C-alpha cells in the first residue's frame, strides 16, 4: 500500500501513520521527522532547514526531496509506505509521481484528514514530542505515564519550537496557500478520500481503514 496522508499540521497525520504501520504492513515516512533528525544530528542539511522550520515556513525542495528519495531506497519502504507531511505542494506531488514512476510504482490512495483551525491550535499547543524517538503526546488528551518522559524509550519530551501558537498560525497559513491545492490535485487524479478528523484516534483510524477498503489485516507486500 502506497498511501499519502494529507491534512493541516495537528490533524493527526503522524498519530494515524504510526497506528496504521502495523495494520497496513508499511512504514510511516514523515518528512518532518526526517528533517528534525537532520537538525538533531546537526547535518549540513539540518542546519539549513532549521531556520525555515522554526518560522513555520516550508523547507526548500532541494533539501526535502533528497531525504525522501533516500528513505524510499531503504528496504522497508520498497513495498509500500504511509507518507506523512510529504508532498506539501503540487510541485512536490508531481516530483513524487516521477520518483515512483522511476521505480515502476504509483500511489494507491490519498486520505485527507479534515479538522477545523481552532481545534488544531488547541491540539498543537498541548502537544509534546519525544526528543529521542519522535513519539507524540498531548498534555490533556494523551498524557505520558511519567511527566516529560516518553513511554516507549524514556526520552525527554519537549514542545517543538514550531508548536508555539504564533508559529502554528503561520503553519496553517502555509497549509492554506500551498498544501490545500493538493486536495483538488489528487481529487482530479481520483485518488482522494476525505475523512473527518475529530474523535478518538482509534475512531479516525477506522475511518481511514474503511475508505481504504480494508479491515487492516492485510499482510505486508500484498497490495
Return residues touching ligand AMP (CB under 6 A).
9, 31-32, 35, 52-53, 56-59, 64, 85-86, 88, 92, 162, 171
Q: Whose Cβ is closer to ligand AMP: residue 9's or residue 147's?
A: 9
Residue 122 bears catalytic tag: no
Please state, in angstroms and rounded to a whole number, the distance separating the CA atoms of residues 115 and 180: 12
Beta bridge partners of 138: 127, 142
Please state, in angstroms and rounded to a whole number, the distance separating the CA atoms of residues 212 and 105: 18
The alpha carbon of residue 29 and the mean position of all alpha carbons in its chain are separated, in whole angstroms, by 7
Other CB atoms within 10 Å distance of the CB of residue 100: 14
Residue 127 bears catalytic tag: yes
Q: Whose Cβ is closer to ligand AMP: residue 173's or residue 196's?
A: 173
Residue 109 bears catalytic tag: no
Q: Which residue is nearest to ligand AMP (CB)?
A: 32
Residue 220 bears catalytic tag: no
In which residue are the cell numbers 497490495 written? 223
Please state, in angstroms and rounded to a whole number, the distance separating the CA atoms of residues 60 and 78: 25
Q: How far is the CB of 217 from ligand AMP (least distance, A)?
A: 28
Q: Whose Cβ is closer to ligand AMP: residue 57's or residue 164's?
A: 57
Residue 13 bears catalytic tag: yes
Q: How far is the CB of 69 from ligand AMP (least distance, A)?
A: 12
Given the residues 36, 88, 123, 128, select the one marked as catalytic.
88
Q: How far is the CB of 216 from ligand AMP (least distance, A)?
A: 24
Q: Whose Cβ is closer to ligand AMP: residue 15's or residue 109's?
A: 15
Please state, in angstroms and rounded to a whole number, the distance separating the CA atoms of residues 24 and 3: 10
Contact (CB, 8 A) for 82 and 3: yes
Other CB atoms within 10 Å distance of the CB of residue 25: 19
Catalytic residue positions, numbered: 13, 88, 127, 160, 171
Amino acid at each position: 500500500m502506497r498511501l499519502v496522508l494529507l491534512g493541516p499540521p495537528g490533524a493527526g497525520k503522524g498519530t494515524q501513520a504510526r497506528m496504521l504501520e502495523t495494520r497496513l504492513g508499511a512504514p510511516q515516512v514523515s518528512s518532518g521527522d526526517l528533517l528534525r533528525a537532520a537538525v538533531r544530528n546537526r547535518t549540513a542539511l539540518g542546519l539549513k532547514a532549521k531556520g525555515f522550520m522554526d518560522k513555520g515556513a516550508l523547507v526548500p525542495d532541494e533539501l526535502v526531496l533528497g531525504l525522501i528519495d533516500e528513505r524510499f531506497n531503504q528496504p522497508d519502504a520498497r513495498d509500500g509506505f504511509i507518507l506523512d507531511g510529504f508532498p506539501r505542494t503540487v510541485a512536490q506531488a508531481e516530483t513524487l509521481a516521477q520518483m515512483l514512476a522511476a521505480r515502476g510504482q504509483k500511489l494507491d490512495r490519498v486520505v485527507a484528514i479534515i479538522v477545523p483551525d481552532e481545534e488544531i491550535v488547541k491540539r498543537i499547543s498541548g502537544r509534546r514530542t519525544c526528543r529521542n524517538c519522535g513519539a507524540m503526546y498531548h498534555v490533556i488528551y494523551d498524557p505520558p505515564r511519567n511527566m516529560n518522559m516518553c513511554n516507549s524509550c524514556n526520552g525527554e519530551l519537549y514542545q517543538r519550537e514550531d508548536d508555539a501558537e504564533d508559529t502554528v498560525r503561520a503553519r496553517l497559513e502555509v497549509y492554506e496557500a500551498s498544501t490545500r491545492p493538493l486536495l483538488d490535485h489528487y481529487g482530479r487524479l481520483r485518488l482522494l478520500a476525505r475523512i473527518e478528523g475529530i474523535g478518538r484516534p482509534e475512531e479516525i483510524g477506522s475511518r481511514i481503514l474503511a475508505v481504504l477498503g480494508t479491515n487492516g489485516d492485510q499482510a505486508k507486500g500484498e497490495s
